[in-house]
Structure formats: structure tokens, C-alpha cells
Amino acid sequence: MSVQIKRRADYKPPAFLITTVDLHVTLHPTDTRVISTLKVTRQGSHNQPLVLDGDNLPVHKLLIDNAPLAAKSDDNDGYILTDSSLSIPVDKNEFTLYIETSIAPDNNKALEGLYLSGGAYCTQCEAEGFRRITFFLDRPDVLSVYTVTVVGDEKYPMLLSNGNPVDKGQLSDGKHFVKWHDPHPKPCYLFALVAGDFDLLTDSYTTMSGKEVALELYVDKGKKHQGTFALESLKRAMKWDEDVFGLEYDLDIYMIVAVDFFNMGAMENKGLNVFNSKFVLADQDTATDDDFFNVEAVIAHEYFHNWTGNRVTCRDWFQLSLKEGLTVFRDQQFSADMTSELSNRIKHVRVMREHQFSEDASAMSHPIRPDEVIEMNNFYTVTVYDKGAEVIRMFHTLLGVDGFRQGMDEYFRRHDGQAVTCDDFVSAMQSATSLDLSQFSLWYSQSGTPVISVEQQELENGKVQFTLSQRTPKTSDQHDKQPLYMPINIEIIGQGGELYSDNEGVINDGMVILDKESMSFTVDASGNVLTPAVLGNFSAPAKVDNPLSTESLLTIFKHGKDAFNRWDAMQSIYDRCIRELEQSPEASIDENIWVGIRSAISREIDNVELLGECLVIPSFETLCQLRTSVDVAELSKARTEFCHQFAQQLEAALLDVFNSIESKPYSYEQSAVNQRRCKNVVLAHLALLPQYEHLVTEQFEASDNMTDTLGALRSAQFCRKEVFDSLMAKFEQRYNKDPLVLDKWFALHATQPTKDIFATITMLCEHPQFTMSNPNRVRSVIGSFAFYNSEMFHALDGSGYKFVADYLLKLDKLNPQVAARIVTPLTQWQGFASQHQRLMKEQLGRLLNHKGLSKDVFEKVSKSLA
């Protein structure tokens, strides 16, 4: 397969600019007509032809300043059309180009460009989807002012595009049109068009300068009541961005459309966001607390892009983290302010440890600003997004709240209306601090997860020397690594909880800077045993190798000031116990640990938020990242055994917690969320003990909300099979008509570690609500299996790997972007034992040899076999 690698270093400014775009789109399922009139200007003096991107588009008509141009032939110098480009010979420096083309949205199952979602037309253009609609300079550094006329028949009463509606009317053939104008120059990836028949929720927001903005939320007919939370979230996000960053909305109207068929979470198209309905629709009966949380976070994320992404955009796609890392950081700060700082931090750190660390350990390892890309869609990664956000968080830590705000103000002052680079962002931040950020910017170019090691050595006269050192293991893309500049939160705690400071004054405000391979400082211990709690609040995206005794970990849990550290200490204790069981499956855990946990529980019984998080056993995926050569059956067995001992040993304490939390009528409000969370975590432990099966069924029957219903269902996975099966059947009957809710049911089935899992999955795929063309369905069945059914996916007869590969071969023909996401677990063979590796590579080999593989899947599979 011949593929083209694009390199960041090869960036060249565009040879032409397009200042205005006039689009005229007449919708039809198999023959949508797109007429585009572009004002083009040559940049600099050169005589190159104008080369536009166009993905398998026909040219029906082409005019330059009203003069027709035909295709090139032997005796005529015309345009040259290929399946990916249109080259137009012109010598004018300024001209108007008219091109007529056509597309078939009904056949578009890749969901990029213009497609049909259910009964509605919608578009997705990021990263390179606009070239599937019309010929264009499809790159983010070409900014144009758009005027768009959408023509459709009466079946589609709502015709939407970016900006403000400026005209509308009836046409003679029974069709109607609406014309839109967006005054803000934008790159084509922010273009959007939607046509359909929706229920509409409206509201308005008055900005800080007194401007009234109309808010419109479009949802499927009959779903209006499920849209109110999203609309309220939008207003909170608008207010927060004004309060925290002084950023105000800049159009008269803000529209959000929820669609069922969507490859990603949502899209920040200027003034017209398109959302996966999963991140809009929410009510007590159908959405869990996590769903509510995610709706608010994604609504905010897309809104925040209006400044970080749209007003200031990316020069090229290698700079994606410029907008995504920054916007994720902003949405995380918003969520923390709206809900709780602690549980937010834990949530995001879990994502880093489960998914980003494994990406960095795989052949897809890349810096937050990648250097090479085959298919851009493959770089919407946890590294670019979440590690990118961690890097922004470090700026925030180093510059402080005021310094960070000053840097942001400067960023907008310099770059509003421009397409810029990560270096431009760093330089704006540099203007707001006296720290030298040059070493810090290595975070943009170096991939891999640094490991911080902590050593303790007793010196004479009661002094203890601490040494922190860093090392970044080589990654598949980069062999040489340099020391990074890392802010490290640190607490030195005595046995009785006393806090110690160092003699040299390198710890400032609980933080040290590690910018070399290693550094040391001393502390006067005067005979006390000291416990260093390092990397509090996950102050840098790193792993920590800190060999602490169980007593020391319990000391951190008991006395640590930082709640995050306390949670983390508990996680380390569990990890340690599981390791013991891996070594000797018959081992029983030291009674002191149970004593420690019991007393922790009774001390924190009123602090349900921390308690709920602390009672979660690290996931299988997180444990994998702390081990090498994982034998899946062995690790699962050890983890399961630990969970059983945990339930048995802590039975009384867990029951106390469960009974102390009273069930109240549902409200989505932080204290209630914390209580439900804690109660459901505890229920899952108790469900391992047969005598508490009734608690599960009782909760299921009594529940007035999806959080508790699903909590009961998840716990039922640990009960007798009959119990699980009967609750699942009831659930399916109740929610048969609601695909978003059924996704939860699909996922629960697909993650059951049962022998007949493939029969189950086949049954799910034949369910009337299942279709391979809907990414949410595919993710909930096949994605859940590959990512989270570790035992069966990694079964040593190779059946799990083969099943996923077989499915991907079919899916790839329809939707390469989603196929390339789901292939991820198969490509991450590095951490597993050789018997797993061999079988995984066998399936990767099958994929690679397949004729007609998409470049999306090709890039990931070929890298992982290289």
C-alpha cells in the first residue's frame, strides 16, 4: 500500500488565500449539488497553479472570472482532476473561481463530509472532511468569510449553517432555502450545515457587555425534555468563561444540534456545534450522574473552543494540541468549579494512567505535538488531548492563576483572528513570567512517560537525604530523551503527621522543580520516620517509583494534607496486595492492612466523596501499566481474589457505609452525586458476598434514577447468573426503544467474562437496535469488548483477538475512523506476556495483509508491527 507521510517540518505557507466563500447547497440524498464561488488571491510572486483538495469529487462546471475552463487535453491547457486534487492553471493574482460539483450523502457511511444521520443531513469537516463536500484549500491556515445558501425540500423545515440567518424563502419547485452569513473568517474545518426536522429548545444569554445571544438546541422529535440540562450547562459555561478568562461570545446566535450518528464526542463549528446525542440528552430516568457530568463538560468544551480554537486557530494539524490541550484544560477547570476538584482530578488522572500511559508505551507513542502523520484522524488522541491538558496545567501551576491569565490575555491580544503554533502559545506565556520556559517547552517535542524515582538515605546527626531523579524510557518514535522541567508537589510527613521542610529551601510552597536528571535535599528528621508523598495532585504527567512501606502509605492516607495523595496512597496499597497474590495465589493479605483500611473507613465515614474513590480497586488496565509482561489470566485472577478478600475482610465496615447513606429522591447535585457514587462502589463489593444479593435486586427495583439502576446492574455482574440475567432482561424490556440507554446494556453484556461471550456478542449485533453504521452502538459492543473485557479479549486460544480483527475488517469498509480507534487494544501488545504478543501480532498481520485496508487502520497496524 502506498501511503504518504506528512511531516511537521515540511510546513509551507499557502500559495493562495481564499478570502470569501459563497456556497450554494441543494440537498438530495444521492445527488446534492454544491456550487462554490471563491475569491482567490495569490500569495507572493510565483506562477504555480492553484491546487485544491477534493476527495473523489466530479467537476460539473468551472469558471474563472466567468470564463469557462475545461479539463486539460492534448490541445488545451485546462484543469487536472485526480481523486484527491484539482489543479487549475491561472496566472491572475486575484480572481473569482466558480466550481460546481455533486455528492451523495446517503452513501456516506464514514460520517465525514456531508452525511445523513437518521433522517437529518449534517456535516463533519474536522480535520479534512470539507474536501469531501467541495474543492478547497483544506488546511486550517486558510481563513475565509462564508455565505451559505441551503436549499432543501419541505421534509427538512430547518436549514442551518454558521453565523446569522440573513435571508430565507420559498422556491417554485416546492423547495425552500435559508441563507447564512458568518462574519468571522474561519478555516473550512469549522464549516457546518444541518438540515432536518427537530424539536427546538430556545433560551437566551446576556453577555457581560450586555449583548443578547439567542441559544438554540435542536434535538430529535420527542426528546425536548432531555435537552434542558445541556442548555443550562451552556449558560453556565458562557458565564464561567467571562468570569475566569474575560471571554465573551461573539455572534447573535449559538446553535447546538444533537445527532445520533457521530464519530466523536462533538464538534465546535462556528456558531453551530454538532453533538453526538450522547453528550446532549440527559434526564434522571435515562442518564447517570456520569452522563450528566459529561454532557456539561462536553457542552463547555465546545463552547470554550469559540476562543481557543476558533478565534485563534491552528496553523497546521500538527499543532492540534494548541486548541485541544488548552480547551480540555479549560473544561477541566470549569468542571472542577461546577462539581468537585478532587473527584475531577481523580477522574482525569485515571484517564492518563489507563489510556495515555499505554499509548506512550505503544508504537503509537507521539509527543503532544506530533512530528509525522499519515492519517490526521488518528491523532485525536489521549496524548494530544489529555497529556496536552496536563502540560497546560503545568503552565498554570508554574505561572499561578494571575500569571496564567496574563499569558492568556497576551495570547489573544497577539493572535486573535490568526492560525498559530504551539510555539506562539509558549511565547505568549513566556511574556507573563520571569521563569525561563525554554526547557519546559520540551514537553511539546518529547514523547514518553517520565519516571520519577525517590530515594531516601540516612545521613549522620539525624539528617535524611532525599534524592529525586527522572528518566524517560525510550519510545518507539524517539530513542534519546532529555531531562524535563517538572513541578513536583511534595509533602514530607512524620509518623505523627508532622510536616517537614528541607534544609536547603528547595521545597517552596510544597513544590520542588526537578529540571535535571537528579536533585537532592536534606531534612532534619531527628529520629522520626519520614514519608515523602511525591507528585501530589499529579503535578506532572509522570509515573512515580517511590518504594514506601505499607505503614508509610497508611501514614500518607491518615495524615496527608492533599486529598489526592491520600487516595493515591490507598491505590498503591491495593496494587501492592495484588502483587502479593500474583506471586503466591494462596497468600493471605497481612491483617495490618485490613486493620488500616477498616480504621480509614470508620474515620472517613462522613467524607463520602474521598471514601467512595478510595474504595475503588485499581482497574485491570491501570494495573497493567504498573507491570511488564502481563499474563492476563494471572493478573485477573489475583485482582479478583483481592476483591473477594476485600469484601470478606471489610464486610462489616462496608455494610456500615452502605447503611449510613440514605436514599433520597434523585437530584443531580454534588453532595447527592457523591453519596450515590460511594453507595454504588460499596454495593459492588458487597455483591461478591452471596448474602447481600438482595441489596442489589432491592436497589434495582427501588431506583428512581439511571445511576442507581445501572449501579445495581453492574453489581449484579458479581451475583448469581440468574440474578444478573433477570435484571438485564427487565432493563432491556424497559429501555428497548432508547438506543442511548441500550448502549449501557450492550456494554454490560460485552464486558462479561463468560465463556459464551461470542454467542452473546453475535446476539447483540442482531438486536433490532444495533447497526454497524452507528458508531455509538459499535463502540458499546465491540469497543467495550476489546477495551474492557480483558479476560476474554486476551484469551490464550486467540479467539478474542481474532473476533475483533474479523469485525474490524467489515467495519473498516464502512467507517475507517471508528475502526482505527477500536484496533487500539490490539496494537498495544507491548505490555503483555509473549504468548499474548504472538497471538496479537498474528491478527495484526492479517489486518495488514488485507487488500483495501483504510489508511487509518493501516497507519496504526503497520506502526505496531514495525
Catalytic residue positions, numbered: 302
To Zn ion, the closest distance from the beta carbon of 189 in angstroms equals: 12
- What residues numbered 317-336 form the site for ligand PHE, per CB under 6 A? 324
Return the one option of ligand PHE, Zn ion, none that residue 743 interacts with (CB less than 5 to 8 A, by type). Answer: none
Q: Site residues for Zn ion, window 620-639 (CB under 5 A)?
A: none
Please report how close the Cβ of residue 126 comes to ligand PHE at its closest, in angstroms: 4
Strand duo 253-259 + 272-276: pairing? parallel
Q: Closest-CB residue for ligand PHE?
A: 264
Contact in structure between 537 and 459 (CB atoms under 8 Å): no
Task: Decide: is 707 part of the binding site for ligand PHE (CB under 6 A).
Answer: no
Are the C-beta atoms of 174 and 209 separated by less than 8 Å? Answer: no
Does 146 interact with ligand PHE (rule: CB under 6 A)? Answer: no
- Asked whether position 264 contacts ligand PHE by CB under 6 A, the answer is yes
Is 272 among the residues that bind ligand PHE (CB under 6 A)?
no
Bridge partners, residue 453, by sequence: 469, 545
Which of Zn ion, ligand PHE, none binds 421 (CB below 5-8 Å, type-dependent)? none
Check binding of 182 to ligand PHE (CB under 6 A).
no
- Angstrom distance (rounded) from CA 469 to CA 38: 57
Q: By CB under 6 A, tell whether 645 contacts ligand PHE.
A: no
Figure out which of the listed residues 22, 55, 220, 302 binds ligand PHE, where binding follows CB under 6 A: 302
Out of 139, 301, 415, 836, the residue judged to bind ligand PHE by CB under 6 A: 301
Residue 380 or 411: the one with the smaller Cβ distance to ligand PHE is 380
Q: Is the dihedral of CA 314, 320, 321, 323 positive or negative?
A: positive
Among 267, 419, 563, 742, contact with ligand PHE (rule: CB under 6 A): 267
Nearer to ligand PHE, 127 or 589 (CB): 127
Q: How many CB atoms lie within 10 A of CB 736?
A: 14
The residue (of 127 and 178) whose beta carbon lies closer to ligand PHE is 127
Instruction: Tell me the closest approach of the beta carbon of residue 419 to ligand PHE, in angstroms.
Output: 15
- 839 counts as binding ligand PHE under rule CB under 6 A: no
User: Sign of the CA dihedral 222, 226, 230, 235?
Assistant: positive
Residues in 306-325 that interact with Zn ion by CB under 5 A: 324
- 326-345: contacts with Zn ion (CB under 5 A): 327
Alpha helices by DSSP H, 313-387: 320-338, 341-351, 357-360, 382
Q: Which is nearer to ligand PHE, 264 or 748 (CB)?
A: 264
**For ligand PHE, the closer CB: 276 or 715:** 276
Which residues, other chains included, contact 549 with Cβ-Cβ below 8 Å and sequence gap of 6+? none
Q: What are phi and psi of 715, to 5 degrees?
A: -65, -35
How far apart CA 555 and CA 494 sit, in angstroms, is 8
**Which one, of 830, 746, 846, lies nearest residue 788 by Cα?**
746
Three-class secondary structure of residue 43 per DSSP: coil
- Assess 268 for contact with ligand PHE (CB under 6 A): yes
Q: Is 101 helix (H, G, I), strand (E, B) or coil?
A: strand
Indicate whether 124 belongs to the interface with ligand PHE (CB under 6 A): yes
Shortest distance, position 512 Cβ to ligand PHE, whole Å: 34
To ligand PHE, the closest distance from the beta carbon of 384 in angstroms equals 10
CB of 325 to Zn ion, least distance (A): 9
Q: For residue 124, report the phi and psi dihedrals to the nearest 5 degrees.
A: -140, 115
**Helix, strand or coil for residue 197?**
coil
Q: How far is the CB of 65 from ligand PHE (least distance, A)?
A: 35
Query: Cis omega (within 30 of 0) on the bond before 127?
Result: yes
Q: Which does 266 bind (CB under 5 to 8 A by kind): Zn ion, ligand PHE, none?
A: ligand PHE
Nearer to ligand PHE, 264 or 600 (CB): 264
Kindly report the backbone phi and psi dihedral angles of residue 766, in degrees, each rounded to the nearest multiple of 5, phi listed first.
-95, 0
Q: How far is the CB of 324 from ligand PHE (least distance, A)?
A: 6
Choice between 123 and 769, CB closer to ligand PHE: 123
- The site partner of 128 among ligand PHE, Zn ion, none (C-beta below 5 to 8 Å per kind) is none
**Bridge partners of 196?**
158
Residue 33 is placed in which grid cell? 449539488
Per CB under 6 A, the segment of 209-217, 258-266, 601-609, 791-799 that binds ligand PHE is 258-266
Distance CA(568)–CA(80), nearest Å, equals 61
Please count the residues of this chain forming the interface with ligand PHE, following the rule CB under 6 A: 11
State which residue, 273 or 774, has the beta carbon closest to Zn ion. Answer: 273
355 binds ligand PHE (CB under 6 A): no
- Contact range with ligand PHE by CB under 6 A, out of 266-274, 277-285, 288-296, 744-752: 266-274
Does residue 706 interact with ligand PHE by CB under 6 A? no
Asked if residues 236 and 296 have their Cβ atoms less than 8 Å apart, the reply is yes
How many Cβ atoms are within 10 Å of 727's Cβ, its own excluded? 22
Any idea how long the chain is? 866
Q: Which of residues 379-408 bind ligand PHE (CB under 6 A)?
A: 380
C-alpha span between 655 and 657 (Å, rounded) = 5
Phi, psi of 846 (to 5 degrees): -60, -45
CB of 769 to ligand PHE, least distance (A): 24
Q: Name the DSSP class of 688.
A: T
Residue 128 engages ligand PHE in binding (rule: CB under 6 A): no
266 touches ligand PHE by CB under 6 A: yes
Alpha carbon distance 194, 216 (integer Å): 13
Shortest Cβ 385–ligand PHE spacing (Å): 7
Phi and psi at residue 503, to the nearest 5°: -80, -30
Listed residue (394, 567, 580) closest to 487, CA to CA: 394
User: Least distance (Å) from ligand PHE to the CB of residue 380?
Assistant: 5
Q: How many residues bind Zn ion (CB under 5 A)?
A: 2
Q: If contact means CB under 5 to 8 A according to the sort of partner, which of Zn ion, ligand PHE, none does residue 380 touch?
A: ligand PHE
For the chain, the straight-line distance linking the first and the last C-alpha, in angstroms and rounded, comes to 15
What Å distances lie between residue 848 and 654, 805, 860, 862, 863, CA to CA? 50, 10, 10, 7, 10
**Could you tell me if 40 and 49 are in contact, meaning their C-beta atoms sit under 8 angstroms apart?**
no
What Rg do the C-alpha atoms of the chain give, in angstroms?
28
- Order of strands across the sheet with 113-117? 113-117, 120-124, 193-196, 158-161
In the complex, the smallest distance separating the C-beta of residue 276 from ligand PHE, rounded to whole angstroms, is: 9
**Region of 264-272, 485-493, 706-714, 724-732 interacting with ligand PHE (CB under 6 A):** 264-272
Under rule CB under 6 A, residue 556 binds ligand PHE: no
Per DSSP, what are the bridge partners of residue 490? Answer: 534
Among 22, 53, 55, 126, binds ligand PHE (CB under 6 A): 126
Residue 124 interacts, among ligand PHE, Zn ion, none and using kind-specific CB cut-offs from 5 to 8 Å, with: ligand PHE
Task: Looking at residues 439 to 498 of the shown chain, list those that interact with ligand PHE (rule: CB under 6 A).
Answer: none
Binding site for ligand PHE (CB under 6 A): 124, 126, 263-264, 266-268, 301-302, 324, 380
Binding site for Zn ion (CB under 5 A): 324, 327
